[in-house]
Amino acid sequence: MKQAIAAALTLAIGGMAAPTVASEPLPAEALAPYTARQLASGVHLLATPPDYLGAVTGNITIIEQSDGVVVIDSGLTAADGRRAAAYVRSLTPNPVKALVYTHWHNDHPQGGSEIRKAWPDVRIISTAATAQSLRAATARYVGYEPSIWFDAIFRQQGEALARQIDEALKDPSHDAATRARYERMKRESAERAADFTGTHLALPTETFTDRLLLDDSERPVELKFLGRANTDGDAVAWLPNERIVITGDIVVSPIPFGFFSYPADWLRVLKRFKGMNYAMLVPGHGEPQTDTAYLDRLTATISDIRGQVEPLAKQGLSAAEVRKRADYSAQMKAFGDTPRHQRLFEAYWLNPMTINAWVEANGLPMKQGDESLYPQ
């Protein structure tokens, strides 16, 4: 729940990048729950389907360079890292030379140990702030080595969820579609629970604070820190030739994620995204975007929350009192087109962002991973 990249050597013959030979394509079941697609020449995305009901898992972006591969994020589990490694090997015989963690949320770095196992010389990169959070906040979820103790916790969590679903299925009022959805959730969650075995954290080997270039004659990658936003150390990857920006959880769709964030700084980062004039934006979760419509909605919701919370906080109201008085009905219409989306929008965005804006208005520090900020 990341660091920096060094300049890459180019393999060139007569000014042309040396060709690579791809292996046979992987069958879809070898990547499940991910699906794979090519976003541009040499740029690939592994993402879970929009209707996936297993544990939430971040997007993985794979970028081929002339002498190696750059991977942005690595998923939630050891099995995710193995899937990413297998997919890379289906594309090229070149090694993964750099793995970038965009931030500390555990569904982005926890597959990294398997990528390191496959390519021991890989550079693991994050911002300096993210490296610190990985050692604190993320390390509460997994250790630095495979652990029977952590495996048991993951198994217990999976069993508890299965029991909750079984209880829900006892409700005779559910229609056939709802029951089918619960059954699929139980199956996909059980499959996901098995993926956690052996999951542990591979820490960054390099960090950066502003910008780091992984140069390449064909497909350079610029790593940037544009400011605090979703976390205090969000790394962004920019592909200038393709005009693709990879945002981590600064952008999450269709429902944004607001815990441990910095509303005012986040708005400044979103403004900088718009100034990039990107052709494609790859979010931390959700579908790639080719316009600024979602970015504009995200900007509007953060601005509205800050605009309502700050004056109430200045009156001395508690965060809970502020939440009761705030009117987010317009935002709910914009993001919550179904009862399920409305529940998620409330839980993962409106409630935590109200607290974040209250913390900001009162000049208090935001500590990454401090769950006491968000009472249940």
pLDDT digits (tens, 9 = 90+) for 186-209: 999 999 999 999 999 999 999 999
Omega prior to 254 cis, within 30 of 0: yes
Q: Report pLDDT for 140.
A: 84
Q: How confident is the model at residue 3 (pLDDT cuts 50, 70, 90)?
A: very low
Q: How far apart are CA 288 and CA 285, in angstroms?
A: 9
| Whole-number Cα distances in Å, 349 to 210, 253, 287 | 28, 11, 19
Q: How far apart are CA 181 and CA 32, in angstroms?
A: 18
Among 20-29, 56-65, 313-322, the least confident range? 20-29
Q: How far apart are CA 92 and CA 260, in angstroms?
A: 38
Structure tokens at 167: 């209880």
Q: How confident is the model at residue 154 (pLDDT cuts 50, 70, 90)?
A: confident
Among 48-57, 90-99, 148-157, 201-210, the least confident range? 148-157
**Residue-averaged pLDDT of the chain:** 91
Among 16-20, 83-87, 108-112, 363-367, the least confident range? 16-20
Q: Report pLDDT for 23.
A: 54
- Is 100 in a helix, a strand, or coil? strand
Nearest to 131 by CA among 74, 223, 57, 209: 209
How many CA atoms lie less than 13 Å away from 262 in the CB half-sphere?
19
Q: Strands 35-40 and 43-47: what pairing? A: antiparallel
pLDDT tens by residue, 297-334: 999 999 999 999 999 999 999 999 999 999 999 999 99
Where are the strands (E) in 57-111, listed by range? 60-64, 69-72, 96-100
Query: What are residue 72's DSSP bridge partners?
Result: 61, 100
Note the Cα 299 to chain centre separation in Å.
19
Nearest to 76 by CA among 225, 245, 205, 193: 193
Note the Cα 278 to chain centre separation in Å.
19
Buried residues in 83-120 as b, exposed as e (16+ CB within 10 A): bbbebbbbbbebbbbbbbbbbbbbbbbbbbbbbbebbe
Global pTM?
0.91
What is the percentage of the chain residues whose pLDDT exceeds 70? 94
Alpha-carbon radius of gyration of the chain: 21
Q: How confident is the model at residue 24 (pLDDT cuts 50, 70, 90)?
A: low
Nearest to 100 by CA among 260, 268, 279, 221: 221
| Whole-number Cα distances in Å, 337 to 92, 280, 323, 333 | 42, 25, 21, 6
Q: What element of type H or E holds 284?
A: none
Q: How confident is the model at residue 376 (pLDDT cuts 50, 70, 90)?
A: confident
Q: Report pLDDT for 340.
A: 84
Structure tokens at 12: 């060139």
Q: Report pLDDT for 153.
A: 87
pLDDT tens by residue, 271-294: 999 999 999 999 999 999 999 999
Q: How far apart are CA 351 and CA 101, in angstroms?
A: 27
Where are the strands (E) in the chain, listed by range? 12-13, 16-17, 35-40, 43-47, 60-64, 69-72, 96-100, 123-127, 206-208, 211-214, 221-224, 236-239, 244-246, 280-282
Structure tokens at 197: 């075995």
Please say whether the beta carbons of 46 and 62 come within 8 A.
yes
Residue 10 has pLDDT above 50, yes or no: no
